[in-house]
Chains A and B, each alone.
Chain A
Amino acid sequence: MNYWPLLGIAIVVVGFALRFNPLLVVVGAAVATGLLAGLDFVAVVEALGAAFNGNRYISVTWIILPVIGLLERYGLQQRARGLIENVRGATMGKLLVTYLGFRQITAALGMKDIGGHPQAVRPLVAPMAEAAAVKTHGDLPDDDRDKVKAMAAATDNVGLFFGEDIFFAIASILLIQGVLESYGYELTPLELAVWAIPTAICAFLIHGGRILAFDRRLAKHPSRSEEDRA
């Protein structure tokens, strides 16, 4: 067997590590893999064009942007903040668990752009989590503050990843459908999306449990900040 096409995978790894533009890396890897598999350049460009063309439905979902952008113009994000701020009195643990649930449910309804790191985590979720942690546990050493902020970012990721696939007009569900269809297995997006529900529940229990355990761990070391200052 010709193992040379595996070099394409190495190109992806090295390209990303060197921080080249990801589109450039992906196309470079595709061309190299095709050539190493014995195709000529024209055939590789044709294969790439056919595959890109065949997967256009994945990018159709961007037509939702004018709706979201228009609502943002009239304060959608501020409204979302207002909703979350109603739980301001809660502890860091409860706050992040609530955000996890909020993120999973809104993503499952297709509103995956309501959260996100630049628009929600940095201005809102992380500062609120930090403030709540300081309020319940007293002043925290910088390392612990960083961990609280990192946990807020992690919560956004987990909520998004394991909520969005329940919404069936999402790119990943459409991709699964497209790949399986190319092997002759015809499925509707809904049939696939229901199988995201068990994992979503596991994700909520595991990550939610870890957030609460993290909050308790911070509580157990109230003196650490004193040592830090000493």
Chain B
Amino acid sequence: MITYEWLYILAGAFFVGWSLLSLRDRRWGNAGFWGLLAASFLLGSHVSDFVNGLLVLGMVGIAGIGGLKRSKPATTTEIEKQNFSELLGNKLFIPALIVPLTAVIGTLLYNYTPFGETALFEPRRETLLLFAIGVLFALAAAIAWLRPPALAPMEEGRRLLDSIGWAAILPQMLAALGAVFALAGVGDIIGSLAGNIIPDGSVLVAVVVFALGMAVFTMIMGNAFAAFPVMAAAIGVPLLIEDYGGNVATIGAVGMLSGFCGTLLTPMAANFNIVPAALLELKDQNGVIRQQVGTAIPLWVCNVIIIYVGGFLLWT
């Protein structure tokens, strides 16, 4: 049976590759950072929580002192890219489409045909596993078709990875922060504070407080990823799901999307709101946020309605 453990080994191998290429490029910080992440992927399941924690502290240390830099592996020039794009045409989209199509079609086949009875994949893990299989298919197809130099796929991957930099593990780190917050009882504290303002038995008010908490926390934390575990612990799970019997999928998915409305409104989400203002040389640093207010607020109201109607009225 193929499990997540296989994925971790695969991803770990990729990060080992990127670490070695950084080493060859004499970018010690990058080599160390991706090397520690590779260690987390490859060894994480076999070492203690404390050692895993030390790996995290190591990565944060390297990123904190600015040890992670952009790299410029050799690639094609603008002109060569333009020529290739004209020569190869829209077929260039095909390898990119192999990944989502493998994941979508594979998941549907696995769940709705006898293929699922083979128990090839760990239960409920099939989608991400099929995603990885799709990546391997797409990579093989692209290499067979384009015949790039041997190291080109990993070097091009490193170019993109280094342009993302430490932000590549920020979502995972924010999820970990959310888990630590949950352990420290932050969700329960917020839940007890929120409990004082939610009248007993009012589903709609509870939905509004949950969605509002997602948006506000996302604005504070700059990312819905850290807000979600806290609001799930505070209101989503105990009140909406357990007490009021709402649809778990609706509350989870649309709760997260309520948080995304908060992302549109906060300078903390620097990558999306402040960086583009700088890139576009706007006079007003908050110019992008100003253009988003009029979308974020009505969309947040839509999310409240979708949770209330889809998660409760239609569900029960």
Partners in one complex: yes
Q: Which residue of A lies closest to B295 (CB)?
A: A207
Complex interface: stretch among A87-95, A131-139, A149-157, A222-230: A149-157
Q: Which residue of A lies closest to B231 (CB)?
A: A179
B97, B229, B288 interface centre (most CB from chain A within 10 Å)? B288
Q: Which residue of A lies closest to B61 (CB)?
A: A24
Given A65-B157, A73-B81; A147-B287 close (CB under 8 Å): yes
Query: What is the CB-to-nearest-CB distance from B23 to chain A, in angstroms, rounded to a whole number?
Result: 18
Q: Which residue of B lies closest to A184 (CB)?
A: B237
A202 CB within 8 Å of chain B: yes
- Once the chains bind, are A59 and B37 in contact (CB under 8 Å)? yes
Q: How many A-B pairs fall under 8 Å by CB?
A: 438
- Once the chains bind, are B288 and A154 in contact (CB under 8 Å)? yes
Given A45-B54, A118-B279, A154-B288; A168-B127 close (CB under 8 Å): yes
- Once the chains bind, are B253 and A188 in contact (CB under 8 Å)? no
Query: What is the CB-to-nearest-CB distance from A1 to chain B, in angstroms, rounded to a whole number?
Result: 6
Given A59-B171, A161-B263, A165-B256; A192-B128 close (CB under 8 Å): no
Provide the A41-70 mask, 1 if CB < 8 A to any CB of B, else 0. 010111111111111111111111111111
A176: contacting residue among B90, B158, B253, CB under 8 A: B253
Q: Which residue of B lies closest to A214 (CB)?
A: B291
A42 to B50, CA, bound (A): 7
Query: What is the CB-to-nearest-CB distance from A94 to chain B, in angstroms, rounded to a whole number?
Result: 18
Give chain B residues whose Cβ lies under 8 Å from the Cβ of A65: 156-157, 160-161
- Once the chains bind, are B92 and A79 in contact (CB under 8 Å)? yes
A194 to B54, CA, bound (A): 38
Give chain B residues whose Cβ lies under 8 Å from the Cβ of A113: 160
A36, A37, A167, A195 interface centre (most CB from chain B within 10 Å)? A195
A62: contacting residue among B168, B184, B303, CB under 8 A: B168
Give chain A residues whose Cβ lies under 8 Å from the Cβ of B93: 76, 79
B8 CB within 8 Å of chain A: yes
Provide the A7-49 mask, 1 if CB < 8 A to any CB of B, else 0. 0110011001000111110110110011011010010111111
Give chain B residues whose Cβ lies under 8 Å from the Cβ of A202: 299, 302-303, 306
Apart from A16-B270, A27-B57, A157-B264: 19 A-B pairs, beta carbons within 8 A: A1-B188, A8-B186, A21-B66, A50-B53, A56-B8, A59-B11, A59-B172, A60-B132, A70-B142, A70-B157, A71-B95, A76-B92, A79-B90, A110-B99, A149-B287, A153-B277, A169-B131, A191-B249, A203-B295
- 5 A-B pairs whose Cβ atoms sit less than 8 Å apart in the complex: A16-B268, A26-B176, A51-B175, A76-B93, A198-B302
Q: Which 9 A-B pairs have the closest CB atoms?
A: A69-B156, A75-B85, A49-B53, A49-B52, A51-B179, A37-B184, A45-B53, A66-B157, A195-B253
Which residues of B pack against A, CB within 8 Å? 4, 7-8, 10-11, 14, 37, 40-41, 44-45, 48-57, 59-60, 63-64, 66, 75-76, 81-86, 88-90, 92-93, 95-97, 99-100, 103, 107, 111, 124, 126-128, 131-132, 135, 138-139, 142-143, 146, 148, 152-161, 164, 166-181, 183-186, 188-189, 192, 220-222, 224-226, 228-229, 232, 237, 241, 248-250, 252-257, 260, 263-264, 268, 270, 272-273, 275-277, 279-280, 282-284, 287-288, 290-292, 294-295, 298-299, 302-303, 306, 310
